[in-house]
Amino acid sequence: KAGVTQTPRYLIKTRGQQVTLSCSPISGHRSVSWYQQTPGQGLQFLFEYFSETQRNKGNFPGRFSGRQFSNSRSEMNVSTLELGDSALYLCASSLVVRGATNEKLFFGSGTQLSVL
């Protein structure tokens, strides 16, 4: 069974631009979460989607948005990029909804975003 797939792997953008990152969860998984990872802040939760509905949102500005499609694939968008948005963006999928018993998060390899 294929793992979580994130595209692209690397991205270089300039300040003010916008970016869209894509995540395909493990087949059959309906929950997708997004995290931002930086050396200083560690892994920070962005948002979680289940069955095309955003169920949880982290403490990030409105420039960060996401959506989930009917096939469970998810995208996140960052508008008006800032230098501080440079980070590894990780997507994680789960078979069950947040809070269900035996929940596990499986991560993709991430998208390394550099903002110049």
Partner 1 sequence: GQQLNQSPQSMFIQEGEDVSMNCTSSSIFNTWLWYKQDPGEGPVLLIALYKAGELTSNGRLTAQFGITRKDSFLNISASIPSDVGIYFCAGSNYGQNFVFGPGTRLSVLP
- In the complex, which residues of this chain contact partner 1 (CB under 8 A)? 4, 6, 33, 35, 42-43, 45, 48, 56, 58-59, 88, 90, 98-99, 101-110, 112
Q: How far is the CB of 56 from partner 1 (least distance, A)?
A: 6
Give the burial string for 72-95 (b: 16+ CB within 10 Å, else e): bebbbebeebeeebbbebbbbbbe
45 class by beta-carbon count within 10 Å (0-12 exposed, 13-18 middle, 19+ buried): middle
Tokens at 40, concatenated: 């200083």
**Of 12 and 80, CB closest to partner 1:** 12
Both tokens assigned to 33: 């979460």
In the complex, minimum distance from the CB of residue 19 to partner 1, in angstroms, rounded to a whole number: 18
- Residue among 12 and 43 whose Cβ is closer to partner 1: 43
CB of 80 to partner 1, least distance (A): 25
CA–CA distance, 103 with 106 (Å, rounded to integer): 10
The distance of closest approach from Cβ of residue 78 to partner 1 in the complex, given in angstroms and rounded to an integer, is: 19
Per DSSP, what are the bridge partners of residue 107?
92
Identify which of residues 42 and 62 has a Cβ nearer to partner 1 in the complex. 42
Which C-beta is closer to partner 1: that of 43 or that of 116? 43
